[in-house]
Amino acid sequence: MEDDLHQGDFFFIDRLPENQRHAIDAKLLQGMVEIQRLQSLDEGRAIHIPGGMIHHWVGMIFVPRATFPQVRAILDDYDEHEKFYKPDIRRSKLLERNGNESKTYLQLYKKSLVTVVLNANFDIIDTQFSGTRAETKSYSTRIAEVADQGKPEEHEFPVGMDHGYMWRLYTYWRIEEKKGGVYLQVEVVALTRKFPIMIGWLIGPLIENIPRSTIAALLINTRRAVAEKNTPTEGAVAPSTRGE
């Protein structure tokens, strides 16, 4: 990721051939979401994770008629993430903020074949490159699976002694204002347990579909939150926006 920045490739599409880059950009400007699965290789070979799996995905969206501060305001409003990103985020709280560094708590929720609830803490670092471009890095520092969620006996499994649905979660947001709106990218790297081969036919589709749906929801809900927060109330006069 740092190499990309040094080479001037801010978004993942900047690394693509020109025809592919233009095709994806056209989709984004039409309101669609672009999501791709990524894989980091070691001298051309997959990196072996004993007992674990790495899930690496990236997605992009365009937020029309939005400004850089408006999008940053949504991403930085951690106490409201439980409203912006429900049902995937059930609870959210800003624990500490010191300059460009923050600590947050999220309770994550996902229902597919099973219902998974996780209590997670994150360290977050914001880097602003200019008045229209920034990056936010989020690193999990603690993830605990919740057992018997919603019942009187609700409790956490000991960290690391659980079903292994999520052991680490790193998230990287990049935003840039241009072309009359804001481009928004989220790149996700997660560590889970490796599931037995005999249930691969069952788990395989979930490994593809759940990250796609989760990333799409993150991006679409961010765009929706920006639009709703900046929609003039009845009777108010919307300020003019240069370039519209």
Q: How confident is the model at residue 239 (pLDDT cuts 50, 70, 90)?
A: very low
The answer, yes or no, to whether residue 208 has pLDDT greater than 50, is yes
- CA 211 from chain centre, in angstroms, equals 10
Instruction: Please tell me the predicted confidence (pLDDT) of residue 132.
Output: 96
Beta bridge partner(s), residue 155: 147
pTM, 2 dp: 0.88
The answer, yes or no, to whether residue 209 has pLDDT greater than 80, is no
For range 5-16, the mean pLDDT = 93
63-67, 108-112, 203-207: least confident range: 203-207
Phi, psi of 222 (to 5 degrees): -65, -45
Secondary structure of residue 19 in the 3-state scheme = helix
For range 224-241, the mean pLDDT = 68
Instruction: Please tell me the predicted confidence (pLDDT) of residue 234.
Output: 55
Each domain of the chain, given as residue ranges in start order, spans 2-229
pLDDT tens-digit readout, 160-178: 888 888 899 999 999 999 9
Q: What's the CATH superfamily of 2-229?
A: START domain (3.30.530.20)
